[in-house]
Each structure stands twice: as structure tokens, then as C-alpha cells.
């Protein structure tokens, strides 16, 4: 075979792989929009499910997802930011301690999400929750069962690496000169971190939070048995209530419901809502991250 022709064939093969991936992305988007858009209305977003979930909206699922990711962010972001400060400011690159922390964070990032669900069930519900019931409630079951609090904390563990990575990246873009200037003016290390490093990495903290929320809103496996409910007639009122979530709603409606075909429009519309939510969050995060990287250059 002619060398030139071989070059062209193989080069186009690599190009075709890229096109294939992009084709799949576009078809997922197109099919979800085509199936979901006609059913998407204001009413769909603010109504409760009706008639055994065959009609009505997804209001409780939206609220449930929002509340869960909010509690998750409250738990995960401070932890993530402090760990990132340690890794970027205090840790010496070659110390065993810092290396172990990095490895632990990496492990948290690659452990399958279902394992977090098991952990939430075994640790939060089975250990902490049941012991809390024994001590504070005299054995009455309140915390020792699936609830929005345990689901959120489980999800917080899962999204911790996302926060840490984003914040650390942002902290590292702050010029060393700014730290040196602060130290030279007589500020201590902690003062420098609080007054110079943290304000400079607000965008990074925001990016991490948004990415974590987007990830948490989309994950279903960790909340399968730590708090998500099939159907609730009411919104969650306290931390010990169960909640409905968008992702779980899609899973349940498409696999477990008695009449899958009848609820197909609802399923597509719910998928579209979830996809739009994670998409817009990711888009914001991408723009923020782009700004951080531009500033660094």
C-alpha cells in the first residue's frame, strides 16, 4: 500500500472515533430533548405526581434533589476546602502524610458509588443512627433508618474529591509573590492564607461547589438505600425524613413501575430536567474554570 494512502486511512480512523463519540453525545441529547420537551411545562415542574404516578409533575423530586445537594454541599465544601488548603499550603510534597492523603482522596474518587451506598447503610444508618436512637430516643426508631441527612452525608463523601481537586487547583494559581508580599509585611502564615489565599481562590471554591452539586444531583447508586423514596405525599420536613430525587425517579419509573409505557412522557421529561440541571451546572463550572486558568497565565 502507498505510504501516503496508509497515512490518510489511519488518520481518518482516529478522526472517525472522535466523530463517533460526538455523534453519541448529540444523539443522547437530541433523543432526550425530542422525547421530553413536549411534556415539559411549568405545571410539570411545580405539581405533585398524581394517579399512582402516571400523571402530574415532579415537584417533590426537584425539591428533594435540591435539599439533598444543599445539605451535601454544606458538609462537603468546608471539608474539601480545608483539605485543599493543607495540600496546597502546608504539606511538603514528599512527606508521607501528604502522599497518603492524596492517595486517600484519589481512592475516594475511584471507589464505585454503590460502595458509598453500602457504607452509608452500614455506618451512618446502622452504626451512628441506631446508636443515636439508643442513646437519645430510648430505642424509638428515628435516625436508624434511611433519611435525607444520611443520604446527603453519603453523597458528601462521594463528592469530596471533586471539591478538593478544584480548590487546590485554584489555590495553586495564586502567585507566590502575593504570599511573599504578605509575609514580608509581617503577616503570619495563617493570616496570609485567610486574607490573601482564600479571597483569591473564591472562584475555585465556587467551581468545586458547583461541580460537586452537579455530580451529587446525578448520582443514584449511593442514595438507593440510604434515603431516596419511591413516592412521598409530602415534602421532607426534617432531616430524618426520606426524600424523592430526580435520578431515582427516572430509575424507578423506567424499570420498576407497573406500566412503563404509560409513563414514558414523564420519564423523558424527568430525564430532560436532570440533564438540563447537570448540564447548566457543568457549563457554569467550565466557564469559571476557564477564567481561573486564564488568570493563571
Partner 1 sequence: MFKAPVMVKYMKKNKTQEIISFAIKKFRFSDWFAERFIKVVAFMSITFVALIFIFVFREAFPVFRMDVKQKIGSVDLVQEKYGEEEATPATANPVSGSAIKVSKPSSTLLSNVWMPVSDNPRYGLIPLFFGTLKVTLIALLFAAPIAILAAIYTSMFAKPWIREIIKPAIELLAGFPSVVVGFFALMVLATVFQDIFGYASRLNSFVGGFAMSLAAIPVIYTITEDALTAVPKTYIEASLGLGASRRQTAFHVVLPAAVPGIFAAVILGLGRIFGETMIALMATGNAALTSINPFESVRTLSATIGAEMAEVVFGDTHYSVLFLIGSLLFIFTFALNAISEFYFKNLVIRKYQSKK
Backbone angles phi and psi of 132, in degrees to 5: -60, -40
Rounded least distance, CB 270 to partner 1, Å: 9
CA distance 209 to 247: 19
Rounded least distance, CB 7 to partner 1, Å: 4
Nearer to partner 1 (CB atom), residue 53 or residue 274:
274
Site for partner 1 in 100-119 (CB under 8 A): 100-101, 103-108, 110-119
CB 197 within 8 A of CB 174: yes
Q: Kindly state whether residue 266 participates in binding partner 1, applying the rule CB under 8 A.
A: no
Picking from 174, 197, 191, the residue whose alpha carbon sits closest to that of residue 293 is 174
Rounded least distance, CB 189 to partner 1, Å: 6
Nearer to partner 1 (CB atom), residue 20 or residue 46:
20
Site for partner 1 in 188-227 (CB under 8 A): 188-191, 193, 214, 217-221, 224-225
Q: Kindly state whether residue 15 participates in binding partner 1, applying the rule CB under 8 A.
A: yes
Nearer to partner 1 (CB atom), residue 38 or residue 122:
122
The helix-helix angle for 148-172 and 202-218 (nearest 10°) equals 140
Rounded least distance, CB 197 to partner 1, Å: 12
The DSSP bridge pattern shows strands 49-50 and 55-56 to be antiparallel
Backbone angles phi and psi of 19, in degrees to 5: -60, -40
Rounded least distance, CB 138 to partner 1, Å: 19
Site for partner 1 in 129-168 (CB under 8 A): 157, 160, 164
The footprint of partner 1 on this chain (CB under 8 A) covers a number of residues equal to 86
Which member of 13, 135, 233, 258 binds partner 1 (CB under 8 A)? Answer: 13
Backbone angles phi and psi of 12, in degrees to 5: -70, -30
CA distance 151 to 75: 12
Q: Kindly state whether residue 36 participates in binding partner 1, applying the rule CB under 8 A.
A: no
DSSP 8-state assignment for residue 143: S
Which member of 37, 46, 55, 90 binds partner 1 (CB under 8 A)? Answer: 90
Q: Kindly state whether residue 17 participates in binding partner 1, applying the rule CB under 8 A.
A: yes
**Segment interacting with partner 1, rule: CB under 8 A, options 46-54, 68-76, 196-204, 263-271:** 263-271
Cell of 169: 487547583
CA distance 104 to 277: 30
CB 142 within 8 A of CB 240: yes
CB 145 within 8 A of CB 125: yes
CB 222 within 8 A of CB 151: yes
Which member of 23, 25, 41, 131 binds partner 1 (CB under 8 A)? Answer: 25
CB 87 within 8 A of CB 196: no
Which member of 49, 60, 129, 247 binds partner 1 (CB under 8 A)? Answer: 247
Which member of 62, 72, 83, 171 binds partner 1 (CB under 8 A)? Answer: 83
Rounded least distance, CB 166 to partner 1, Å: 14
Rounded least distance, CB 56 to partner 1, Å: 20
* Helix locations, 86-223, DSSP H: 96-110, 113-119, 130-136, 148-172, 176-184, 189-192, 198-200, 202-218
Rounded least distance, CB 46 to partner 1, Å: 22
Amino acid at each position: 500500500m502507498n505510504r501516503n494512502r496508509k497515512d490518510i486511512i489511519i488518520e481518518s480512523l482516529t478522526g472517525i472515533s472522535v466523530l463517533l463519540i460526538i455523534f453519541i453525545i448529540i444523539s443522547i441529547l437530541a433523543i432526550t430533548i425530542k422525547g421530553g420537551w413536549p411534556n415539559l411545562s411549568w405545571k410539570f415542574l411545580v405539581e405533585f405526581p398524581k394517579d399512582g404516578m402516571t400523571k402530574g409533575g415532579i415537584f417533590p423530586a426537584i425539591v428533594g434533589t435540591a435539599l439533598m445537594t444543599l445539605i451535601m454541599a454544606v458538609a462537603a465544601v468546608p471539608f474539601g476546602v480545608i483539605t485543599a488548603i493543607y495540600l496546597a499550603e502546608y504539606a511538603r510534597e514528599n512527606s508521607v502524610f501528604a502522599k497518603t492523603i492524596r492517595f486517600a482522596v484519589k481512592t475516594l474518587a475511584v471507589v464505585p458509588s454503590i460502595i458509598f451506598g453500602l457504607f452509608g447503610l452500614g455506618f451512618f444508618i446502622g452504626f451512628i443512627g441506631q446508636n443515636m436512637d439508643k442513646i437519645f430516643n430510648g430505642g424509638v426508631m428515628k435516625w436508624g433508618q434511611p433519611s435525607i441527612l444520611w443520604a446527603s452525608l453519603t453523597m458528601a463523601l462521594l463528592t469530596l474529591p471533586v471539591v478538593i481537586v478544584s480548590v487546590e487547583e485554584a489555590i495553586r494559581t495564586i502567585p507566590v509573590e502575593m504570599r511573599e508580599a504578605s509575609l514580608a509585611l509581617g503577616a503570619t502564615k495563617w493570616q496570609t492564607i485567610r486574607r490573601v489565599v482564600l479571597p483569591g481562590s473564591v472562584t475555585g471554591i465556587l467551581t468545586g461547589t458547583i461541580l460537586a452539586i452537579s455530580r451529587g444531583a446525578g448520582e443514584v447508586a449511593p442514595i438507593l438505600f440510604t434515603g431516596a423514596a419511591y413516592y412521598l405525599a409530602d415534602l421532607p420536613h426534617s432531616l430524618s425524613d426520606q426524600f424523592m430525587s430526580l435520578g431515582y425517579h427516572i430509575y424507578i419509573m423506567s424499570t420498576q413501575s407497573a406500566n412503563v409505557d404509560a409513563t414514558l412522557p414523564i420519564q423523558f421529561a424527568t430525564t430532560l430536567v436532570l440533564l438540563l440541571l447537570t448540564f447548566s451546572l457543568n457549563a457554569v463550572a467550565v466557564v469559571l474554570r476557564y477564567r481561573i486558568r486564564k488568570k493563571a497565565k
